[in-house]
Structure 1
Amino acid sequence: MAGISPAVFGFPDVTLERNTAVHEVQENVTSVDTLTLASSNTDFAFSLYRELVLKNPHKNVVFSPFSISTALALLSLGAKSNTLKEILEGLKFNLTETPEPDIHQGFRYLLDLLSQPGDQVQINTGSALFIEKHLQILAEFKEKARALYQAEAFTADFQQPREAKKLINDYVSKHTQGKIKELISHLNKDTWIVLVNYIYFKGKWKMPFDPNRTFKSEFYLDEKRSVNVSMMKIDNLRTPYFRDEELTCSVVELKYTGNASALFILPDQGRMQQVEASLQPETLRKWKKSLKPRMIDELCLPKFSISTDYSLEHILPELGIREVFSKQADLSGITEAKDLRTSQVVHKAVLDVGETGTEAAAGTGYQNLQCCQGVIYSMKIYFDRPFLMIISDTNTHIALFMAKVTNPESDENFLNKEYAFPQLLEIMPEHRSVCTCCLPCLNRQ
């Protein structure tokens, strides 16, 4: 964060040590276990995915449901009444079965598990609050944000939007290894709080592709259009596979070294919408339960990089999260200041896939080879048309990332596989005082 003046923006107020022993947290996890949280996370992921696809037809979709749900759960710490209820129910929690305190303890447990250092899969996740320097945040909210969500707190001067924007963007760039360089393109002087959640993932394939075997091949966007892509190739790969005849799609799991794996779903030609309409937590459980090790004679996967940028304040209301964006928002658990609401929710994602690591999807074709003893079935899988991808942490069963690849050539390809998904919420007062409204005029005199 070079060039930032501590006199203007200050230093972090609080941080949570990342090496907290997991067993200390585990004692507090009672009603909510990781499977319950994973199911809610998956339900939210699929619901949000359908809305993103609806509003972005024929485009690549990539996002981190875990990053978005973590940011919203953190925001809910300061919400009350119906605002609180809408956020948690929008995240697909049943508040009758799962009390609010258990939800937050569950997130704490998951975040501590994911933050444990590892030498194979790299997962960095965290949250930060950027607070207007004159705003008094309630001590209880700040402490809970630190203890439950590992949230750092910074002061910022939003009356200097250019400097405040640089502070936030530099923070995000640093924690996503430079993958997201400009999360925020615009800040309003009305802003009081900016909440950021980031997640960065980098993994290496357990069975990497040989770069010398990458070749140019057709990727079919639809029945009439195609693009030329760099196609990676590996032979004689034994990996979990399932053919779902009911949904007419093929499912392949590719594992990373460490505690992560990527699930690739390739619908048959013309069946993508049918598969998308059937996405439910039960569907994912069925796929994972049905996966069996299978020898794949030839697997071809496009090398690609895709990026997306979403303004979720226009999408989350479709999932029932409405009041937090309105004049009726009750965020009185954050500060005693009145008329606080959330003005924007920005989510940017970058997904790179290369020979050494990252995602893939499964398209299956069968070729019958005759021999003297009968018929030998040779399985060849080609990712040569739109497919879905879900990356999960195998310890917690949490869906970290989800993507729909409709065109691998829509963005400039990168050499290595990395993921970075920051999530931003901007909170501002609903009404400005007369004096505040006059400040820009007075400054120009």
Structure 2
Amino acid sequence: MKAVICAIVAFMVFAGCVQNEQPVQLLDENYATAQDVSDVVNGNSQFAIDAYKKLNSENGGKNIFFSPYSISSALAITYEGARGQTAQEMQQVLGLPEDENAMLAGFAKIYNTINGKGKSYQLYTANALWAQQSYKFLDSFTSVSKKYFGAQATNVDFINKSEQARQEINGWVESHTNSKIKDLMPQGSLDPLTRLVITNAVYFKGKWKLQFEPSKTYGADFKVSPQQSVKVQMMHMSGEKSRFNYLENDELQMIELPYDGNGLLMVVILPLEGKMDDVDQSLSVQKIGELKAMLSEQEVVVNLPKFKFKTKYSMAQTLAGMGMPNAFSDEADFSGMDGTKDLYISKVIHQAFVEVNEEGTEAAAATAVVDATSIAQPQNIFNANRPFIFMIEEKSTGTILFMGKVTDPSKAD
């Protein structure tokens, strides 16, 4: 009987005021080149689009939110121990560079960029290994995991004290997401066959560069579908200072909303009425790149709903369906971890929380209603009163940290 690997990825995004940074040990990036980083980012972007489409097909009509970076980071560690067909499938699905040294250097550089100090927002990521204390893992695997991913191995006793190990892992996740993600691993998710758990957490907390005024937030209808609308709190910004990179064509509108500090930005893609399915199907790395190249700074009236929701995905079946079933089967080969073929991945659990509001704090109980007819109407109006796609990117590398789809802002789950 094969033993079990679990990959656990959790992250949290919260727009708000900045507190103390999480202390993170930076990695050795001396051999990382700009091309290494570009190759990892390009692969991550392709994985982001593929995963978005798969999750969208599996969760039709629901809000979607996930971190392609978080998932690929945890699974890249797992990939370091994969061999043969298992490694080939993982490399293709995750979009990992074929040059292993370039991949490792690229991940290390991105990790350091995310965890850099002196930011006006909070952004950090962390990895960890949780290994069965009586099981021998190869030094080559644990050393690479630590050197290039910052994943320190902690010995636990899954065989005799699986509940204690579960609580310890959940405590790590909670502490690395500012207590927003609790009890990630439910009771019974670990058992005596578990040999390794790989965790990744990403945390972001920041303010808009141009904040929405709470007094201008108003009640509005959001068209969940052509036949159904829900009431939402719609943030509003207009005037000479309301200038953003923006474009509109016969299919969609796109806008970039920067966060304070200019290191991160949210890209919002708003399909025109009746065009969401077309945009979903045609979405690609190339198309997004072409759209971004056409953005120009313009004065825009922006109406964006406040939203706050959490997601949780058991992604083993999703990833297998994307083209890497071998890793989850009895045919799995993770001999690069322990020198045997006794391991396979049983679970990939991904949980997330996101909140977007005017200035980053909790919303006020009372808001003013704005009469739409009293607002001067310039040429460009970005009115997100229907489902839209959004991404949060790290600007210097282009890494897509988070991606989602808001189908119903009134729902918390």
Could you tell me which amino acid in structure 2 is paired with residue 268 of structure 1?
A: L
Looking at structure 2, the residues matched to 357 and 135 of structure 1 have their Cα atoms a distance apart, in angstroms, of 45
Worse-matched range after superposition: 230-239 or 58-67: 230-239
Shift of 1:203: 1.6
1:189 and 2:192 are equivalent in the alignment: yes
Task: Check whether the contact 2:111–2:149 (CA below 8 A) recurs between aligned residues.
Answer: yes
Residue 68 of structure 1 aligns to a residue whose secondary structure is: helix
Structure 1 residues 342-381: Cα deviation after superposition (integer angstroms, max 9, x where no partner) = 10000111111011149xxxxxxxx9x99xxxxx953322
Task: Check whether the contact 1:244–1:251 (CA below 8 A) recurs between aligned residues.
Answer: no
Task: Check whether the contact 1:234–1:299 (CA below 8 A) recurs between aligned residues.
Answer: yes
Shift of 1:69: 0.7
Aligned to 1:239: 244
Structure 1 residues 324-354: Cα deviation after superposition (integer angstroms, max 9, x where no partner) = 1111111111124541111000011111101
Residue 131 of structure 2 aligns to a residue whose secondary structure is: strand
Q: What are the equivalent positions in structure 2 for 1:218-257 lying under 5 Å apart?
A: 218-236=221-239, 237-245=242-250, 248-257=251-260
1:61 and 2:64 are equivalent in the alignment: yes
Looking at structure 1, the residues matched to 24 and 248 of structure 2 have their Cα atoms a distance apart, in angstroms, of 45
Looking at structure 1, the residues matched to 26 and 58 of structure 2 have their Cα atoms a distance apart, in angstroms, of 41
Aligned to 2:130: 130
Structure 2, gaps ≥5 residues long = 1-22, 362-372
Could you tell me which amino acid in structure 2 is paired with residue 67 of structure 1?
A: S
Structure 1 residues 119-168: Cα deviation after superposition (integer angstroms, max 9, x where no partner) = 31211101111111211221111110000101121111213222111101
Could you tell me which amino acid in structure 1 is paired with residue 246 of structure 2?
A: Y
Q: What are the equivalent positions in structure 2 for 1:266-285 lying under 5 Å apart?
A: 266-285=270-289
Task: Check whether the contact 2:334–2:340 (CA below 8 A) recurs between aligned residues.
Answer: no
Could you tell me which amino acid in structure 1 is paired with residue 88 of structure 2?
A: K
Aligned to 1:103: 103
Aligned to 2:25: 18
Task: Check whether the contact 1:32–1:103 (CA below 8 A) recurs between aligned residues.
Answer: no
Higher relative CO (Cα under 8 Å, sequence separation at least 6) belongs to 2
Could you tell me which amino acid in structure 2 is paired with residue 163 of structure 1?
A: Q
Aligned residues: 374
Shift of 1:209: 0.9
Task: Check whether the contact 1:31–1:102 (CA below 8 A) recurs between aligned residues.
Answer: no
Shift of 1:31: 8.2
Q: What are the equivalent positions in structure 2 for 1:26-175 lying under 5 Å apart?
A: 27-30=30-33, 32-93=35-96, 95=98, 99-158=99-158, 159-175=160-176
Looking at structure 1, the residues matched to 97 and 82 of structure 2 have their Cα atoms a distance apart, in angstroms, of 17
Residue 110 of structure 2 aligns to a residue whose secondary structure is: helix
Task: Check whether the contact 2:36–2:102 (CA below 8 A) recurs between aligned residues.
Answer: no
**Closer/same/farther in 2, CA of residues 116 and 30 from structure 1, 3 Å limit:** closer
Shift of 1:318: 1.9
User: In angstroms, what is the RMSD of aligned CA positions?
Assistant: 2.1
Task: Select which of 205, 230, 244 maps to 2:208.
Answer: 205
**Closer/same/farther in 2, CA of residues 393 and 46 from structure 1, 3 Å limit:** same
Shift of 1:17: 6.4
Looking at structure 2, the residues matched to 30 and 300 of structure 1 have their Cα atoms a distance apart, in angstroms, of 40
Aligned to 1:395: 396
Residue 349 of structure 1 aligns to a residue whose secondary structure is: strand
Aligned to 2:15: none
Residue 141 of structure 1 aligns to a residue whose secondary structure is: helix
Structure 1, gaps ≥5 residues long = 1-15, 359-366, 371-375, 413-445
TM-score (norm 2): 0.86
* Identity %, equivalent residues: 33
Could you tell me which amino acid in structure 1 is paired with residue 25 of structure 2?
A: R
Task: Check whether the contact 1:252–1:263 (CA below 8 A) recurs between aligned residues.
Answer: yes
Aligned to 1:429: none
Shift of 1:179: 1.3
Aligned to 1:378: 379
Task: Check whether the contact 2:388–2:406 (CA below 8 A) recurs between aligned residues.
Answer: yes
Shift of 1:101: 2.2
Worse-matched range after superposition: 331-340 or 178-187: 331-340
1:313 and 2:316 are equivalent in the alignment: yes
Structure 1 residues 381-406: Cα deviation after superposition (integer angstroms, max 9, x where no partner) = 21110000011000110000000000
Residue 31 of structure 2 aligns to a residue whose secondary structure is: coil
Aligned to 2:295: 291
Aligned to 1:420: none
Could you tell me which amino acid in structure 1 is paired with residue 393 of structure 2?
A: S
Q: What are the equivalent positions in structure 2 for 1:425-444 lying under 5 Å apart?
A: none
Looking at structure 2, the residues matched to 117 and 94 of structure 1 have their Cα atoms a distance apart, in angstroms, of 28
Residue 338 of structure 2 aligns to a residue whose secondary structure is: coil
Task: Check whether the contact 1:34–1:397 (CA below 8 A) recurs between aligned residues.
Answer: no
